Structure 1
């Protein structure tokens, strides 16, 4: 009789051990729950600021150096929106020899800031917003003039070579010349 009691208790004991070892049954995850979990785990892509765009460009090293020297990086990384007419490295190199080096000297910071803010307009101005003969006020208080002929857009004679590089806080239009305020 004792032997029979052990034999009949054996299946119950094995079932208890199996449940304990395997843990509680897992709830099946629905496809919707999986998508939600994946979305939560994936960081949102953040659109780069106009400064980030310039920093990431192989053609705007001089502009980034100038913005850093003039302490304008934080300003142009702010909420904006801003429109920047961004001269390329080649545009800066076309200035008379020694001009860029001189502007980057600490004693010329105010002049450098004036030149750089002459390239910036308040608001997000897309290429389609520009019109021939349009006069636009810049952040330094001066004005620039837009010319459009044969599909080519120029700002004070500098040609826009790439337009509408949109960032989180504005837009960049790449130009092939440095704009100098009067």
Structure 2
């Protein structure tokens, strides 16, 4: 469940996060099926609004990659937290294991806003006992901004196919850990 980063915005079919994750899992011995519940432009409020019909009875686990559009719009971190909290509470009620994938907040909204936003993911993961990947983009290698830019589409927001490949390689082990939590 996510936004354009999950949906594969700007990429050809098969190059986005979900199909590349599906391929990575198969190559690493998993027969899990990954369903793309990403909607470009979605906020945490949008994800919450569609959660009930997105979680079919066949759903065994949930990956949540929401919050990027909240941060791009500078939404109140308390609203983002509340929406993510509600999503995790609904997953808890269904006894679904969850991998919560965050993004670091930008500094341009001020240090207080950033501190509040950055606290959301680790605090909610701890409260709900979910797995946590603090930064969806970590696989791009934040130590070298020039190298990371080469892994992005022209908009500077969405990864290109090679960027997605690196993100999947970084997040794949966490997804395997999530799958290990699925109850038979």
Structure 2 length as normaliser, TM-score?
Answer: 0.28
The higher radius of gyration belongs to 1
